[in-house]
Amino acid sequence: MASAGCLGDCPDTVSVASDLHETASLPWAVAVSDGVRKLDVFSCGLAVLYLLVCVCGLAGNTLVAVAVVKMDRLSSSTSVYMLTLALADGLFMLGLPLIAAQNLLHRWPFGDAACRLLMVLDGTNQFTSAFCLTAMSVDRYLALSDPLRFAGWRRPRRAALVSLLLWLLSMVPVLPVAAHFSARGGFCAVDPELTEGGGGLAFLCWAFALGFALPLCIMLATYGALAWRRRHGGGPGAAVTVTETERAERRVTVMVAAVAAVFGACWLPFYVLNFLALWLGEWAEQAEWAEQAEEVFVHGFEAAVLLSYAWSCANPLLYACLSHAFRRHFSALLCPRKNTPTNPRQPDTEHYDLNDSALHGPEAGVRV
């Protein structure tokens, strides 16, 4: 989870939740050992940014969910995965007000039950987002490599079943650890006993592999295979004219590359700093520059956590910027009067099909 709590000043060392970031997260893991800090401009600004990300993420993902349900009516596997991703990203935002309060007050005032509930909500939806994005990448490859052969695997009902399994799978690494979270030290953090004996590093490696490295590798593999296939003239698109093929390739490549790149760019700094925090905790006491470097590290850690949450705001923006169909969806929802047909012979703008494989003609299966 990327649950951001209080990052404070430690007199000698940087401590990361007793060497464990639950599910490779827990920015509040950098503990405060010298009491409550005074309110400062940085903490206030960070709290405001958390709330801004929360509002934008909830609004954007709600808009995506309404668009795929109302206008596309979940008519394709793509729209089912988009709905799942939007729901996971939206739920991921719900804990941000509590995290902003902890970051501002430098303490957790909501009790142990709220701490554990936040861990479950935060971690489950973080993993679900990563898993769903991976499923979308595989689904995209099946749709563009051979849509007729894999049509049965891409039915909306099967996509809904896969989405449900992803939600359940996301709880596996979260629930056992969430039970060991409490606010007994003043902050919502994992109990120190769980991290003894190198448990923190082991769990961090497991969470990094499951929640970031493996999904990103699968995404890159599917996009790379798709790009190679298209570049060498394979698949159903081989019969398309050169101009149409190039145009279709550009749209698809930009879309999938942008999603994968933003996912990697937003989460990689967070995981790097988690590993760095564990490393610093082992020898920072012996470094003369530890106190000077600590504040820089803590602020960098806070920025990385905020960036990981901001990823949940990115998908709606990517859809709006790179997909003409979604721009029409959003325009019809936000400006219904402007998009109402004045001529009864005009097509109904209330429904825009997002089903890639439902298109006919040379661009079937590639339109975004």
> Which of 272, 265, 299 lies closest to 24, judged by CA?
272
Yes or no: say if 132 and 160 are a contact pair by the CB < 8 Å rule: no
What is the number of alpha carbons within 13 Å of residue 229 lying toward its C-beta? Answer: 18
- Contact yes or no for 5/187 (Cβ under 8 A): yes
Q: What is the pLDDT of residues 294-348, one digit of tens each?
A: 777 888 888 899 999 998 888 888 888 887 778 888 888 888 876 655 444 444 4
Whether 137 contacts 92, CB under 8 Å: no
Paired residues of 189 in beta bridges: 182
DSSP state of 16: B
- How confident is the model at residue 335, as a pLDDT? 85
80 vs 175: CA distance, rounded Å: 26
DSSP state of 266: H
Phi, psi of 53 (to 5 degrees): -60, -40
CATH homologous superfamily of 22-189+202-338:
Rhodopsin 7-helix transmembrane proteins (1.20.1070.10)
Amino acid 363: pLDDT: 38
What one-letter code names the amino acid at 69?
A: V
* 177-234: pLDDT as tens digits: 888 888 888 888 888 777 676 777 888 888 899 999 999 999 989 888 877 877 776 5
- Give the contacts of 232 (CB within 8 A, at least 6 positions apart): none
Q: Is the pLDDT of residue 138 over 70?
A: yes
- CA–CA gap between residue 153 and residue 158 (Å, rounded): 7
> Could you tell me if 174 and 293 are in contact, meaning their C-beta atoms sit under 8 angstroms apart?
no
- Which pLDDT does position 187 carry in this prediction? 86
Which residue reads 């649950």 in tokens? 3
* Domain spans in the chain, listed from the N-terminal domain onward: 22-189+202-338
CB 236 within 8 A of CB 364: yes
Q: 58 or 290, which is more confident?
A: 58
How many residues can be counted in the chain? Answer: 368
Q: Is this model's pTM higher than 0.75 or not?
A: yes
